[in-house]
Homo-oligomer: A and B are copies of this chain.
Amino acid sequence: MQYHVNGELVSAEDATVSVEDRGFKYGDAAFETLRAYGGDPFEWQAHRDRLQRTAETLGFGDAVPDDLRERVGETLAENDLSEAYVRLSVTRGVQPGKLTPAGDVSPSVVVIVKELPRGGTEGESVWDGPADVQTVKTRRIPSEALPADAKTHNYLNGILARIELRRAATEEYRAEECLMRDAAGNVVEGATSNLFLVTEAGLKTPSEDLDLLPGVTRSVVIDLAREEEFPVETGEYSVSDVRDADEAFLTNSTWEIRPIGRVDGIDVGTGPMTKLLQRLFDERVENEHY
């Protein structure tokens, strides 16, 4: 496998950053994960825009290279991949001094790819079945401490939440994703996914005003629902609201739309609305990429 590091294609074994890179020392970096379908990044502009916003939040907006899409394209082509997972990182690079960043940024820019066959209307999903989820004690970091809408290399909050799942796992119940709450107790998202509920009143998803990372897939799903004139409400929901939903599902670039099986051991499951949205999503991918 070949990766793209600072403008060059290098073998995966040689794809490294300095131990003095701030992306390594402090997680001082912006990143995106996305999928390529038919050789082309899905929702490129949305991912590019979010990467730019994250870099601006961190104070190095100018460091995001203009030719990022070309670098992704070169990396896919070099590896002969059309269906792929792509991870992009832009770090603040190596700087003199310690924690306080210098204004002058020589970023590290990294593109990693992996083969990831698509699901789609005819194919298989990357997941085996609905995800069981579990409420965890670890709370989402409030935006007053670290803006939730910035996607950075500071990901320990989600890692600690996932470790809770592993520690709590039994033979009967092994949750794959967590339900994370904010300090006030509102359910906000999973460690790497956004949450949707289906109720009689329509589709519901935690509001962007809460401490969550509004995913690109979340936004596509909201668009698809609105195009079909299904009501979509964004607001504040509790764990009980999730348990009581008629259907519930998770979204992210890799899973696309993945039904929730059980919440803290209680069946929620999939249903016609989830299936319809999956179908609409697959059609959108099909129409745009093949």
The reply to whether A100 and B146 contact each other, CB–CB distance below 8 Å, is: no
User: How far, in whole Å, are A140 and B146 apart by their CA atoms in the complex?
Assistant: 9
The reply to whether B153 and A26 contact each other, CB–CB distance below 8 Å, is: yes
Determine whether A141 belongs to the interface, using a CB cutoff of 8 Å to chain B.
yes
Q: Which residues of chain B are within 8 angstroms of A99 by Cβ–Cβ distance?
A: 155, 158-159, 162, 191-192
Partner of A26, one of B16, B140, B146, B159: B159
Most buried by B among A3, A59, A112, A183: A59
The reply to whether A23 and B20 contact each other, CB–CB distance below 8 Å, is: no
Determine whether A201 belongs to the interface, using a CB cutoff of 8 Å to chain B.
no
The reply to whether B152 and A156 contact each other, CB–CB distance below 8 Å, is: yes
6 tightest A-B contacts by CB? A27-B27, A16-B16, A26-B155, A154-B154, A141-B145, A100-B162
A21-46 interface code vs B (CB 8 A; 1 in, 0 out): 10111111001000000000000000
Of the four ranges (under 10, 10 to 19, 20 to 34, 35 or more), the interface on chain A belongs to: 35 or more
Q: Which residue of B lies closest to A155 (CB)?
A: B26
User: How far, in whole Å, are A163 and B150 apart by their CA atoms in the complex?
Assistant: 16
A selection of 14 A-B contacts at a CB cut-off of 8 Å is A16-B17, A17-B17, A17-B19, A19-B110, A25-B89, A25-B153, A26-B27, A26-B155, A99-B155, A99-B158, A100-B159, A137-B144, A139-B142, A145-B157
A23 to chain B, nearest CB (A): 6
Determine whether A166 belongs to the interface, using a CB cutoff of 8 Å to chain B.
yes
The reply to whether A101 and B162 contact each other, CB–CB distance below 8 Å, is: yes
Most buried by B among A145, A146, A162: A145
Determine whether A220 belongs to the interface, using a CB cutoff of 8 Å to chain B.
no
User: How far, in whole Å, are A142 and B143 apart by their CA atoms in the complex?
Assistant: 11
